[in-house]
Amino acid sequence: MSQKEQIIIFDTTLRDGEQSPGASMNIEEKVRIAHQLERLNVDVMEAGFPIASDGDFEAVKKIAQTIKGPQIAGLSRANNMDIDRAWEALQFAGERGRIHTFIATSDIHMEHKLKMSEQQVLDTAVAAVQRAAGYTPNVEFSAEDAARTRLPFLAQVIEAAIEAGASTVNIPDTVGYTIPSEYFDIISYLKANVSNIDKAIISVHCHNDLGLSVANSLAAVQAGARQVECTINGIGERAGNCSLEEVVMALRTRHDILPFTHNVKTEQITPSSKLLTTITGIQVQQNKAIVGANAFAHEAGIHQHGMLMNKDTYEIMTPESVGLNASKLVLGKHSGRHAFIDRLKELGYDLNKEEIQKAFVRFKSLADMKKEIFDEDLDAIVADEVLRVTETYKLLQMNVSSGSFASPTATVEMEVEGEVKKTAVMGDGPVDATFKAIKELTGATYPLLNFSVGAITGGTDAQGETSVRLKTEEREVLGQGAHPDIIVASAKAYINALNKIASFAQRMQGDI
């Protein structure tokens, strides 16, 4: 395939995706996602917004130092301080480092947010690109809210940005406002009216507020865009971003009318989706395309009959093509360490010896309680034993009594900042009593926004998976827990959320 037929996949899970409520990740979690994106073989990964916080800076720096395949991008506003800080982190990626600078160009943004004239915006954009180009030739310029920008001015800004040194120009649908035919016309207009457009790659970044982000991205590709910005599972602000797995599999499945290629290893799609869910706790809806639990499930009799005759009757892609194994049952209590490690690697986990040991001990304990261990159980084990923040608060043991003739009472023993504490508290139910006991031991006063419970797999011996969302002054924080006892799982989720809050507070104090 020629370069003109190659679609560059720009993944922004670690930057725009992390802006999804409750999706904040620490440095270790971001690096884990980055390594999986490397296995997925994305062309560019946007590692973060270095000026936003010391934590974001350190994450971008660590990823630039450790990831060797994809280009590493860092976002910056159109000012010298942002751009300098971005390159300070990105320099470790060398020629693979990309400074991604932006400024809004729509009338509503210029008037109400920037309070700048067209000329001021134009001058600022040019100065920013020139500043970035002084560090690296790999500069991307984004015209924020391009889809609502007057086309003559948009063309003027894009032409000036390319002249200043931008090698990629991004035309974002920042608020998910446009529709495919309109977006096609916007890209076509720029190709016809920007005299130097052939000197840069046109990129598109679509949000999903109207559910059209993937359709808009594909329309832009048909019009001449050659980079698509997207996220795993489509996570992102508000309704999310263009879904990487959907746009990639659309290009692969409909190659007849989308004659383009990409470098993504699609067999890594499912492991990527699962790892992101494990780390963020943001579940994928069951009927989500490509990675949803029902994506390859067939219940209707007519469909099942057709599948038995020929899978092509109702499947336009195979489960294996996106990394979904036909058999989910992999391990039991007689399985050894080598089989356990191999399966973790297949699921996309690259753990060190200490982490493997912690996970293996938990696996053996679970295998004694369950007859069958599924992939989902392994995901929960890794999330519960490995992908957890530093434990300021640790659950030591607990006991709950409840029933129709007794007031629910939770007895909880915890380690709180190194000190062992114990209390017994009554509540309206066993979970309420447990949470009250934890709050009494820790002094936590954060409002509980949401509490949810689910079974990880089928069967009465399934692990329970719980999530707790707490509200702090700065953000919403999601805690997760898994255990065959649903009350224990609930306690672990609540404590996990408290530990994330404590970890965030420590990072803000400079303890990164």
Angle (CA) 481 487 492, round 5°: 30
Domain of 450: which CATH number?
A: 3.30.160.270
Q: Does 484 lie in the same domain as 409?
A: yes
Q: At what angle do helices 180-193 and 151-164 cross, to 10 degrees?
A: 50
CB 136: neighbour CB atoms within 10 A? 19
Distances (CA, A) of 95 to 61, 178, 398, 445: 14, 34, 54, 48
Q: How confident is the model at residue 305 (pLDDT cuts 50, 70, 90)?
A: very low
Q: Is residue 292 part of a domain?
A: no
Report how many helices (DSSP H) and strands (DSSP E) the chain contains, helices first: 16, 16
Q: Does 316 lie in the same domain as 261?
A: no
Q: Residue 503 is encoded by which pair of tokens?
A: 């970890």
Angle (CA) 199 44 51, round 5°: 95
Q: Is residue 452 part of a domain?
A: yes
Residue 467: its H or E element: strand 464-471
Q: Does 441 lie in the same domain as 330?
A: no
Domain of 310: which CATH number?
A: 1.10.238
Per the listing, tokens 């509540």 go with 427
Enter the DSSP assignment of 22: T
CB distance 362 to 385 below 8 Å:
yes
Strands lying side by side in the sheet with 476-483: 448-455, 464-471, 476-483
Q: Does 334 lie in the same domain as 274?
A: no
pLDDT of residue 512: 35
HSE at residue 293, side-chain half, CA atoms within 13 A, is 11
- Of 452 and 182, the structure prediction assigns the larger pLDDT to 182
Of 280, 315, 342, which residue is a domain's last? Answer: 280
Q: Does 220 lie in the same domain as 109?
A: yes
Give me the phi and psi of 226, to 5 degrees please: -130, 10
Q: Is residue 10 part of a domain?
A: yes
Q: Does 264 lie in the same domain as 118?
A: yes
Give this prediction's pTM: 0.80
Q: Is residue 76 part of a domain?
A: yes
Q: Does 276 lie in the same domain as 221?
A: yes
Q: Does 155 lie in the same domain as 85?
A: yes
Query: Which residues span the domain enclosing 307?
Result: 301-385
Q: Does 205 lie in the same domain as 267?
A: yes
Query: Highest mean pLDDT: which of 216-225, 297-306, 394-403?
Result: 216-225
Q: What is the per-residue pLDDT across 171-217, written as a single tens digit (0 to 9) for each?
A: 999 999 999 999 999 999 999 999 999 999 999 999 999 999 999 99
Structural domain count of the chain: 3
Let me know how long the chain is.
Answer: 512
Q: What is the per-residue pLDDT across 476-496, written as a single tens digit (0 to 9) for each?
A: 888 888 888 999 999 999 998
Q: Is residue 287 part of a domain?
A: no
Q: Is residue 286 part of a domain?
A: no
Cα 184 to chain centroid, rounded: 27
Q: What is the per-residue pLDDT across 92-128, written as a single tens digit (0 to 9) for each?
A: 999 999 999 999 999 999 999 999 999 999 999 999 9
- Of 281 and 497, the structure prediction assigns the larger pLDDT to 497
The 3-state DSSP class for residue 145 equals coil
Partners of 455 in the β-ladder: 464
Domain of 46: which CATH number?
A: 3.20.20.70
What span, in angstroms and rounded, lies between the C-alpha atoms of 482 and 491?
A: 10
CB distance 148 to 175 below 8 Å:
yes
Q: Does 404 lie in the same domain as 366?
A: no
Of 364, 385, 406, which residue is a domain's last? Answer: 385
Q: How confident is the model at residue 326 (pLDDT cuts 50, 70, 90)?
A: very low
Q: Does 334 lie in the same domain as 250?
A: no
Q: What is the mean pLDDT of the chain?
A: 88
What span, in angstroms and rounded, lies between the C-alpha atoms of 61 and 493?
A: 30
Q: Is residue 185 part of a domain?
A: yes
What span, in angstroms and rounded, lies between the C-alpha atoms of 186 and 106?
A: 14
Q: How confident is the model at residue 341 (pLDDT cuts 50, 70, 90)?
A: confident
Q: Is residue 267 part of a domain?
A: yes
Q: What is the per-residue pLDDT across 406-438, written as a single tens digit (0 to 9) for each?
A: 889 999 999 999 999 999 999 999 999 999 999
Of 341, 363, 385, which residue is a domain's last? Answer: 385
Q: Does 264 lie in the same domain as 159?
A: yes
